[in-house]
Amino acid sequence: MNKNSSNIMALAPNTSNKRETVCIFGTGDFGRALGHKLIQSGYPVVFGSRGTQTSSLIPKEAEVLSHAEAAQKAAIIIIAIQRQHYNFLIPLAEILRGKVLVDISNNLKINQYPESNAEYLAQLVPGAKVVKAFNTVSAWALQSGTLDASRQVFVCGDDMEAKQMVMDIVRALGLTPLDQGSLLAAQEIENYPLQLFPMWKFPILLSLGLIAFFFFYCLIRDVIYPYVYENKDYSFFIAISITNRICPILALILLALVYLPGVLAAIIQLYRGTKYRRFPDWLDKWMLCRKQLGLVALAFASLHVLYTLVIPIRSFVRWRISSQTVSQALNNKTEPLDTTNAWLSDSYLALGILGFFLFVLLGITSLPSVSNNVNWREFRFVQSKLGYLTLVLCTAHTMVYGGKWFLSPSSYRWYLPNAYMLSLIIPCTVLVIKFVLVFPCLDKPLTRIRQGWERNPQYSE
């Protein structure tokens, strides 16, 4: 057959619109929602239920029969019933022999049972072909048509043909099937809907811990210390001053923590002389949540920008400026412009603006819609090269802001340095290690290791 004729075949409309009947056991929320969707997609639907009377909630195009009668009308049976009721299927085992049983069930807890619900179903009805699917789709999303967030349907099963039949139905409903392999994958698929932002847990807990630490640190230095020694009440600092100190500190530390696992991984690979040994678990997990760490850091940087914008309209700041003006007027003396200070203040603002601009650019390129449109090299360039440049700019912004007070005794209260000094420890460490790793004597062997070279090969040729 020539190329043109095969194209014509592919483009020819499917004249047989008739779809196979699908049976659904259970007329609960999910069964009804799926029934509606299947009927809209052209599938005849028959419900298997304990009571055969129809209700206004059940689609009127569907038949409602007993489980045994309904099962005989279809090759595919979707079990829209909770796992704890599966026992009713045992007496139906003969009727269900050779049928495709689709397990859509979820549990209340991760790894609630020793085996997955789908494997349990396969044990109860050994003659049937069990396929796991649809458990990550909610009845509400099916019914309301808001399936954008859950368009993917994970499918697994031991029988290829049965799995194919279920994946065809998934496609016909306008969803995307993702083949996850054999029924052994069912437990993992059943755990997906029970996970609560798994990649966000570490960044959020870490941020909460750092917020608590720096809040009390700043409270001691900026509110309690002046109260004890000067009897001044600066408690109003909590609303803006302290918050606007914590936000940039967290942004900088979290941004540095995005790049720290990369340099640690490089050191480990150089030390081991191979890339073929697994990193420790904690490092693997840390690397997997770098994007989330970066996005939380960006959120704190954005808050810092907003808090900084309101500084000129704060009553404390206006009072300070006016009292300085009045004191100059009373002394009949105008303070000369300190150009060094002007340079420092302008440079620190410029570094902050540029750092924030690149930070936003990093955030935008991490969005799936953008990252899907750049190739791997472009993505690496942005996330690695521009990422390090952002870290350099933000670290420099902090250093220029307070560099002149580093060694001044007045900036230590109760021997505690200013909080921004602490925030520089991790970024400076990352940048110094990265700088050292760029030296050819380390960079060359590292590049070779990452290309597969081994210092002590495990399998010699």
C-beta of 88 vs 236, nearer to ligand NAP: 88
Number of H helices, E strands in the chain: 21, 8
**Total residues found in the chain within this entry:** 461
| Binding mask of the shown chain, residues 35 to 74, with x at each position contacting ligand NAP by CB under 6 A | --------------xxx-----------------------
CB contact at 8 A, 414 and 220: yes
Cα–Cα dist 273/289, whole Å: 26
Q: Which residue is nearest to ligand NAP (CB)?
A: 28
Which of 22, 23, 24, 27 binds ligand NAP (CB under 6 A)? It is 27
Cα–Cα dist 297/303, whole Å: 10
C-beta of 134 vs 401, nearer to ligand NAP: 134
Should residue 207 be labelled a site residue for ligand NAP when binding is judged by CB under 6 A? no
* Strand order across the beta sheet in which 176-179 lies: 63-65, 45-48, 22-25, 76-79, 100-103, 129-132, 152-157, 176-179
Should residue 88 be labelled a site residue for ligand NAP when binding is judged by CB under 6 A? yes
Helix (H) / strand (E) element for 131: namely strand 129-132
| Alpha helices (H) along 332-424 | 339-365, 368-371, 376-380, 387-402, 419-423
Count of positions on this chain that bind ligand NAP (CB under 6 A):
20
Residues 229-268 that bind ligand NAP (CB under 6 A): none
3-class secondary-structure state, position 79:
strand
From the list 29-37, 161-169, 279-287, 400-408, the region that binds ligand NAP by CB under 6 A is 29-37
What is the token pair recorded at 370? 């953008």
Minimal distance in Å, beta carbon 162 to ligand NAP? 19
Should residue 139 be labelled a site residue for ligand NAP when binding is judged by CB under 6 A? yes
Q: Positive or negative, the Cα torsion across 438, 284, 363, 309?
A: negative
Minimal distance in Å, beta carbon 44 to ligand NAP? 18
Minimal distance in Å, beta carbon 111 to ligand NAP? 15
Question: Residue 128 is which amino acid?
Answer: A
Should residue 186 be labelled a site residue for ligand NAP when binding is judged by CB under 6 A? no
C-beta of 7 vs 66, nearer to ligand NAP: 66
C-beta of 107 vs 241, nearer to ligand NAP: 107
**Interface residues toward ligand NAP, by CB under 6 A:** 26-31, 49-51, 80-82, 85, 88, 104-106, 135, 138-139
